[in-house]
Structure 1
Amino acid sequence: MKTVNGLPAHVLLVHAIVVLLPLAALLLALTALWPAARRRLAGPNLVLSLLVVVLVPITTNAGEWLEHRLTPSPLIGKHTALGDTAIYAAVAVAVLALLVWWRQREGAGRTPVKRVFLAPASGGVTATLTVVALLVAGGAVYDVIRIGDSGAKASWSDWAAQP
């Protein structure tokens, strides 16, 4: 996907990432911390997180297509380099969302086998998973902010420099 209705697809797709990746990170933190939210939102957040993992490469590929049609600049280069890190944040959020969802299923006895892989009754595992989920969620939001800020600077620096 290169253009949508005459606009570069990247400038449209990026809005989905800017909203959905922080939303998935927020839901990850919420489901890791709050058992009532975990029961209701762990499954939907897993689906959302996987959607983001699919959307990030589509968005970065559209961005690379756009980059090759612009005049090279250090700001665009920085944005491109930072944009390549979004997949790591998205995958980390998705993996943690999967772990939170699976532990919820194990704790509720809804796994296909009676084995318990992630020790849903273990306070130590719960605390570790919660801390890691909070760190990953915070890192993902920070990554989106850094990428977005660099993209805004690359897009609008010429305009801002005018009197």
Structure 2
Amino acid sequence: MTTLNGLPAHILLVHAIVVLLPLAALLLVLSALWPAGRRKLAGPNAVLSVLVLILVPITTDAGEWLERRVPATPLVRAHTELGDTAVYSAIGVAALALVIWWRHRETLPATEAPRRIPLPRRTFLAPRSTPVTAVIAVAAVLIAGGAAYDIYRIGDSGAQASWQGQFSATPAPRAPRR
């Protein structure tokens, strides 16, 4: 994807990543720490996190296309290198969101319709283990914090590359209004 409505696609797609990856990270923490929230958030966050994971390489690919069409500067190069780390943040958030969703799914009783008789269920991710839940909660906070920081650094470097030296600290004169 190169352009959308005449603008470089990266400029538009990056806004989705800047909003959706931190949102997925926040939902990850909420679903890891808040059992009542987990029931409502685990599934939608797993879907959102995987969507973001798919969107990140599309956005970085569009960014590489744009990089070849702007002057090469150290700031652009730094932004490009930092942008390549976004996929790792997205992988961490998506993987843990899927683990939390799967663990929650394993806590639900299996039933045999139409009698609704609970059947024994094989579990893989220790859904009732407090130590495993604690480890996942700590990992969620660390991964979410890392993802938010990574997106901040990438966005800041992109803003520096785009705007440094491109504006004046004093307002430009305006034409009188009629």
TM range (shorter): over 0.9
TM-score, normalized by length of structure 1? 0.96
* Shift in Å, 1:107: 1.1
CA shift, 1:114, in A, is 1.7
CA distance change for structure 1 residues 14 and 110 in 2, over 3 Å: closer, same or farther? farther
How much does 1:162 deviate? 7.3
Instruction: Give 1:93 shift.
Output: 0.1
State the distance in 2 between where 1:161 and 1:132 align.
Answer: 44
* Greater share of residues in helix: 1
Cα distance in structure 2, aligned partners of 1:109 and 1:54: 32
Task: Tell me whether 1:14 sits opposite 2:9 in the alignment.
Answer: no
Moved over 3 A (4+): 160-163
Cα 1:103/1:54, change in 2 over 3 Å:
same
Question: 1:14 is matched by which residue type in structure 2?
Answer: V
- Cα shift at 1:109: 2.8
Partner of 1:28: 28
Let me know the Cα RMSD of the aligned residues.
Answer: 1.7
Q: Give the one of 160, 167, 170 matched to 1:153.
A: 160
Unaligned runs of 5+ in 2: 112-119, 171-178
Q: How far apart are residue 161 of structure 1 and its match?
A: 6.5
Q: 1:120 matched to which residue of 2?
A: 127
**What whole-Å deviation, never above 9, does each CA across 1:114-151 have from its counterpart, x for those lacking one?**
21111111110000000001100000000000000000
The runs of 5 or more residues in structure 1 that have no matched partner are none
Per-residue deviation, residues 45-101 of structure 1 (Å, max 9, x unmatched):
000000000100000000000000011000000000000000000010000000000
Query: Percent of aligned pairs with the same residue?
Result: 65
Corresponding position: 1:80 with 2:87:
no
Distance 1:74 1:106, change over 3 A: same
- CA positional deviation for 1:157: 0.5
